[in-house]
Amino acid sequence: MTGELSPIDKAKFVAAKRAADMVEDGMRVGLGTGSTAAWLVRCLGEMVRDDGLKFKGVPTSTRTAELARDVGIEVISLDEAKWLDLTIDGADEFDSELNLIKGGGGALLQEKIVATASDQMVVITDASKEVETLGAFPLPVEVIPFGWQTTKALIEETLVSMDVLGRQTTLRMNGEVPYITDEGNHIIDLHLNRIGNARQLAMVLNQMPGVVENGLFIDICDRVVIGYGDGRVVVRDINEGTEEEDRLDFVEDDNLFSDLLE
């Protein structure tokens, strides 16, 4: 398998593999959405199949739920689980305090609900996602369809008084029609370039009528697992103030991962 993987995919794979080892029998685990989270679900499916791992997964999107079922993971809803031991998800950006921008895959609302209903949140990522200051990646804001243009204008007006470098906003599209989230909402992407006070911006955005949730995850992530293309993995724990480095061997042949390479 590794001969077909790009360095970035190798980094995502080893991060996912390392995080999968954190899942233990009997756990209730939030399963993230996105390309890196897909590697995680595949790794966990392999552990269910080959090692007899028994746990219950709570997906953060319909596509994650479908993938989890396909690889043999028992899927339940958050209402059934009530509370989770662990959520493992990707991120579009993270800073030194493990604050995140998420929502590039369009599932930020369910991702934030699941993450905050967990004892711990672990982010799996590659080194390119680490930034000094959040904001280079567009910040997604989920809004209800009714009056979305008014909500967009209100957001733009509010950004004038925020500590941000850019103020362009765009409605996320799916081809020629607006992108629709699993909850039936739209997403407005904020092209801010730099966010000086992420905590303040998150609070202000969520006070606006029409805004459902924003992609700033503040004080939610506990650990980040950073993968590298040479197999190195760094695990950073914000609560313990620790950083550990390891190296993982690649699995050369496993059809669980074949469709991720297409």
Asked whether residue 202 falls in the same domain as residue 230, the answer is: no
Q: Indicate whether 81 and 103 sit together in one domain.
A: yes
Backbone φ and ψ of 156, nearest 5°: -60, -40
Instruction: Give the pLDDT confidence of 161-183 residue by residue, as tens digits.
Output: 999 999 999 999 999 999 999 99
Name the pairing type of β-strands 177-178 and 28-31: unpaired
- Tell me, yes or no, whether 146 and 39 share the same domain: no
Structure tokens at 60: 């953060």
82-129, pLDDT tens digit by residue?
999 999 999 999 999 999 999 999 999 999 999 999 999 999 999 999
Query: Which structural domain range is residue 196 located in?
Result: 139-213
> Is there a binding annotation on residue 56?
no
Residue 41, C-beta contacts closer than 8 angstroms, at least 6 positions apart: 31, 57, 64, 67, 68, 71, 73
pLDDT of residue 250: 65
Q: Which of 111, 142, 240, 245 is catalytic?
A: 111
**Cβ atoms 123, 18 nearer than 8 A:** no
161 and 226 fall within a common domain: no
Tokens representing 38? 């897909």
What average pLDDT is seen over the chain?
A: 94
**103 assigned to a ligand binding site:** yes
Per-residue model confidence (pLDDT) at position 123:
98
The predicted-structure confidence for 195-215, as pLDDT tens digits, reads as follows 999 999 999 999 999 999 999
Is 184 part of any known ligand binding site? no
Is the model's pLDDT at 260 over the cut of 60? Answer: no
Q: What is the Cα–Cα distance from 187 to 236, expressed in whole angstroms?
A: 31
CATH number at residue 47: 3.40.50.1360
Question: Is residue 52 located within the same domain as residue 151?
Answer: no
Q: Is the pLDDT of residue 239 over 90?
A: yes
Give the ranges where 84-197 is alpha helix by DSSP (H). 108-116, 148-159
Same domain, 124 and 231: yes
Q: Is 111 a catalytic residue?
A: yes
**Nearest Cα residue to 234 out of 109, 122, 159, 136:** 122
Q: Are residues 184 and 250 in the same domain?
A: no
Both 143 and 109 in one domain: the answer is no
What is the rounded distance in angstroms from the CA atom of residue 259 to the CA atom of residue 58? 22
| Separation between Cα atoms, residue 91 and residue 100, nearest integer Å | 6
Q: Based on the structure, what is the number of domains in the chain? A: 2
Q: Are 127 and 230 within one domain?
A: yes
- Whether 150 has a pLDDT exceeding 60, the answer reads yes
Query: Using 50, 70 and 90 to split pLDDT, how confident is the model at 3?
Result: low
CATH assignment at residue 187: 3.30.70.260
